[in-house]
Structure 1
Amino acid sequence: MLPSAFKASKRTPAPAPGAAGAAAQTPEIRSRGTVPVRCATPGPLRRPAPPKPRPARPQRAGTGPRETSRLRSSAPIRSRSSSSSASRSPFLDGLVEHIRTCYIRQQKNRGKTVEPGPVRACFTSFGSVGDSGSSSRGGVSMIRLLIFLLGLALALPALADQIVLKNGDKLTGQIISSDAATLTLKTEYAGDIKIKRDSIASIAADAPLNVQMADKTVVATVAPAAEPEKVVIQAPGAEAVTAPLAEVAAFRNDPSQRAYERELERNLHPRLNDFWQGFVSFSVAGASGNAETATYSTSLAASRAAGKNKMALYFNQVYATQSTQQPFGATANRLSGGYRLDRDVSRRMFVFATTDFDYDQFLDLDLRSVVGGGLGFKVWKSNRGFLDVGSGGVFNREKFGSGLIRKAGELLINEELGLKVNSRLKLSQRMSLYPNLSDTGQYRLNLDTGASMPIFGWLEWNIGFSSRYLSNPPPGLKSNDLLYTTGIRLSFDQTKIR
């Protein structure tokens, strides 16, 4: 059964040969679902049969024919090519290109070869937004791109420095600083990690570091070399240098480099108020009721080590009273203080000069003055503490309340220990023995010990013990005076790198 349009064309007579031009101007009649039919002569034409109606699409809830027609009429019709070119975002294209560049650079720093062609195709396939013929599909493409970028950011490892050990282990984080022995790596999973330099096989840094060589310090990127235990140091505007890890003195980031330069300046040109450390302690005790007593004690110790010089000073005071029974008044009243200066002559040897002063009301000692010096030796020194010993000679002058004045030359044997038992407990001890050379067989012994524990920050709890022994006291007086105190103290330390 032929369509009606074909029937009409069969009844239409063929045009005459001279009517070719007129036939060319004959209008075409197109109908949906039919082929074009050319009319040779004007006149009424039979209307082609209407197409069969298509089944109606189910409408979404809340939309009617009017709303649907309005939406269709208002939506602009764009071709696929024009929509793609018009909706590309330069910002997103630049973002994708930046992520691709960072990915390639990171893989190169890790020693991996990356083919730029496939990587570029992978990233640029998501670079165009709205590659569709409608705004709704363009929004879907935008969402897909954002989801892709978010997944890419989560999937790719964060740009970080990488340390490869000789046993094959890999550690990632941020290089803080290093010296000839250790390297400090800051990580999110374990905090600061100290790694032995001799166990490192390669180093890769995403950000420039301050690299200290034997003769200079440069700001450069660091990447592993093809040869084992070597790094490639690339400074801006200079040729890349391949150097063994053992020849690099230090790696530092910018904050660590600034702190190192400040510390270097302090060591080369120290000021008088630099490098002091010590404490000031206070102690109070009292009683009331059947017994009326009060005790006050104060102690101070400070030392400063700068270059080859070290100076130290100390002061101790105790005063106690009672008003329980006659005679009322003081039951203890003693003051002591001193100053000492050391100068290194070698890595372990040093010379020292010392002076000490003492007052003790109940020993009837108005003033004891001791001046002398000697030679010392550093037996042990580390981050946990020190042990020094020394020997020399002093001159001792003692004046008593009775008017007695004694002068004598004495031999000096001293020892000093400082020990950090753990992160919370610190011990200190100092002993000085003075054998009398003018009156052989007589001697003096001074002993001071203490322990402290931090409460918080610069506030510490401490306990102290002090002994002053004199083998030949004035008649009627005891040889030994003991003092023990406990209280709080304020500590300070300027030796740490700021």
Structure 2
Amino acid sequence: MRFRLLSSLALLSLASFAHADTVWLKNGDRLTGTIKLLDSKKLLLQTEYGGNIPLSWDKIKTLQRDKPVIVQRGKYEPDFPVESLKPADDGQVVVTTTDGQQTVPLASITQIVPPRPFLRDFAWKGNIDAGLDYISSSEDSQKYDIDFKTQARHGMWRHNANGSYDRYKANDTVSTNKYDLQYALDRFFDEKFFWQGRAEYKRDWIQALAKQRTLGTGPGYQFWDNELGAFSLTGLLNHNRYQYADGGSDQFLSASMKWDYNRYLYGQTIQFFTTGELGRPLDNTANFTFDGDVGLRYKVTNWASLNLKASKELTSGAEGNVNQTEYTAGVGVSW
């Protein structure tokens, strides 16, 4: 009985090892795990014992992966699908494609990205960023900036939710106090095209434009979504309702373009991101609206990060014009 148990454990270990990716280093070490990506001359290896480990590409002797990847040879060359990567001599790897096998130098490979299946089980990711400042001096000040963004994907559906809360107080005077909540549902038709329906609510206790309600729908295009990042554009036809601090209100239709872009650099150590929306009312309620963020995240651990962000909200030509710019530094968590 004990022998059978030990044999089963050994077989499970061998099976697990057989499916793991392997990286041989020039110093003689061998690492096993899952290759997440190669970018900016950094190979990111996900391991059970050390989390995500970035490896310098020029320190790698050879490697092995039995699952498909997307490979790019040369910064401006098109990428191509690869069925497997097999170990070869020092500084080389055997690339297997539908056309056969070819031994290529590692130095000629600039990018490796595992493909993500279009139809997959439930997947959830997101982040929360917070910037909190309190200064006690002759002029006391408090600043709170909290943002969250989350996305859940299952089959042909994708749920998107994000929100923010901003408050700034100095010398007992509150100059910023607002929040924003948004939910959007995407229905994909294939890997790229989707249709979105969204609802958004904004509340501001300081500006003349006190409340904004938006319902919109329209087509979208997902340019990419992989370990390097994601980029999508969405065009929307919206019904907007503005309520002002003096009790007045406006209702109108508008057209807008949303973007959502993020890109990892240096083996997922740094993330550049920008999201936002540019809109134009279909009547004379306002000239245009703009709401966008741009920033950087520096990953301290697999889940913790430091971030810098600039935000701009602009409503031009409306009864209650809005023109606010904010800069925030803080910490965040991601999953």
The two structures share one fold, judged by TM-score above 0.5: yes
Q: 2: CA distance between counterparts of 1:490 and 1:409?
A: 37
Q: Is the counterpart of residue 429 in structure 1 residue 274 in structure 2?
A: yes
| RMSD between aligned residues | 3.1
- 1:308 aligned to which of 140, 143, 156: 156
Q: 2: CA distance between counterparts of 1:337 and 1:462?
A: 21
Q: Contact 2:286 / 2:315 at 8 angstroms: preserved in 1? A: no
Q: How much has 1:369 moved relative to structure 2?
A: 0.3
Give the strand-richer structure, 1 or 2. 2
Q: 2: CA distance between counterparts of 1:201 and 1:473?
A: 64
Shift in alpha-carbon separation, 1:367–1:441, aligned structure 2, 3 A: closer
Q: Structure 1, residues 55-91: CA drift from partner, whole Å, max 9, x if none? A: xxxxxxxxxxxxxxxxxxxxxxxxxxxxxxxxxxxxx
- 2:22 aligned to which of 158, 171, 185: 185
Q: Contact 2:286 / 2:318 at 8 angstroms: preserved in 1? A: no
Shift in alpha-carbon separation, 1:415–1:281, aligned structure 2, 3 A: closer
Q: Which residue of 1 aligns with 2:198?
A: 354
Q: Which residue of 1 aligns with 2:326?
A: 483
- 1:194 aligned to which of 64, 81, 105: 64
Q: Contact 2:133 / 2:142 at 8 angstroms: preserved in 1? A: yes
Q: 2: CA distance between counterparts of 1:318 and 1:198?
A: 49
Q: How much has 1:472 moved relative to structure 2?
A: 1.9
The one-letter code of the counterpart of 2:317 is N
Identity, % of aligned positions = 14
Shift in alpha-carbon separation, 1:488–1:201, aligned structure 2, 3 A: closer
Q: Which residue of 1 aligns with 2:105?
A: none
Shift in alpha-carbon separation, 1:320–1:349, aligned structure 2, 3 A: same
Q: Which residue of 1 aligns with 2:264?
A: 420
More deviation, 408-417/441-450: 441-450
Q: 2: CA distance between counterparts of 1:353 and 1:334?
A: 24
Q: Contact 1:341 / 1:352 at 8 angstroms: preserved in 2? A: yes
Q: How much has 1:460 moved relative to structure 2?
A: 1.1
Q: Structure 1, residues 8-55: CA drift from partner, whole Å, max 9, x if none? A: xxxxxxxxxxxxxxxxxxxxxxxxxxxxxxxxxxxxxxxxxxxxxxxx
2:326 counterpart SS class = strand
Q: How much has 1:404 moved relative to structure 2?
A: 1.2
- 1:444 aligned to which of 285, 289, 292: 289
Q: Contact 1:276 / 1:304 at 8 angstroms: preserved in 2? A: yes
Q: Which residue of 2 aligns with 1:329?
A: 173
Q: How much has 1:194 moved relative to structure 2?
A: 3.5
Q: Which residue of 2 aligns with 1:105?
A: none
Q: Is the counterpart of residue 296 in structure 1 residue 144 in structure 2?
A: yes
Number of equivalent positions: 247
- 1:339 aligned to which of 179, 183, 186: 183
Q: Is the counterpart of residue 285 in structure 1 residue 128 in structure 2?
A: no
TM-score by length of 2: 0.66
Shift in alpha-carbon separation, 1:297–1:405, aligned structure 2, 3 A: same
Q: 2: CA distance between counterparts of 1:474 and 1:190?
A: 66
Q: Which residue of 1 aligns with 2:168?
A: 320
Q: How much has 1:400 moved relative to structure 2?
A: 0.8
Q: Structure 1, residues 148-180: CA drift from partner, whole Å, max 9, x if none? A: xxxxxxxxxxxx99xxxxxxxxxxxx5324xxx
Q: Contact 1:448 / 1:466 at 8 angstroms: preserved in 2? A: yes
Shift in alpha-carbon separation, 1:267–1:199, aligned structure 2, 3 A: closer
TM-score by length of 1: 0.45
Provide structure 2 residue ranges, at least 5 long, that are not aligned to the other structure. Answer: 1-13, 33-62, 66-81, 89-95, 101-115
Shift in alpha-carbon separation, 1:366–1:440, aligned structure 2, 3 A: closer
Q: 1: CA distance between counterparts of 2:241 and 2:286?
A: 18
Write out aligned runs for 1:193-212 (5 A).
Answer: 193-195=63-65, 197=83
Q: 1: CA distance between counterparts of 2:256 and 2:319?
A: 22
Q: How much has 1:441 moved relative to structure 2?
A: 6.8
Q: Structure 1, residues 373-417: CA drift from partner, whole Å, max 9, x if none? A: 100112234320121112120000010110110111001212211
Q: Which residue of 1 aligns with 2:103?
A: none
Q: Contact 2:217 / 2:236 at 8 angstroms: preserved in 1? A: yes
Q: Contact 1:175 / 1:186 at 8 angstroms: preserved in 2? A: no
Shift in alpha-carbon separation, 1:191–1:245, aligned structure 2, 3 A: farther
Q: 2: CA distance between counterparts of 1:443 and 1:292?
A: 36
Q: 1: CA distance between counterparts of 2:231 and 2:277?
A: 14
Provide structure 1 residue ranges, at least 5 long, that are not aligned to the other structure. Answer: 1-159, 162-173, 178-183, 203-228, 230-243, 247-262, 493-498
Q: Structure 1, residues 402-438: CA drift from partner, whole Å, max 9, x if none? A: 0110111001212211111222101221121111102
Shift in alpha-carbon separation, 1:374–1:189, aligned structure 2, 3 A: same
Q: Which has the higher contact order (CA 8 A, sep 6+)?
A: 2
Write out aligned runs for 1:10-159 (5 A).
Answer: none
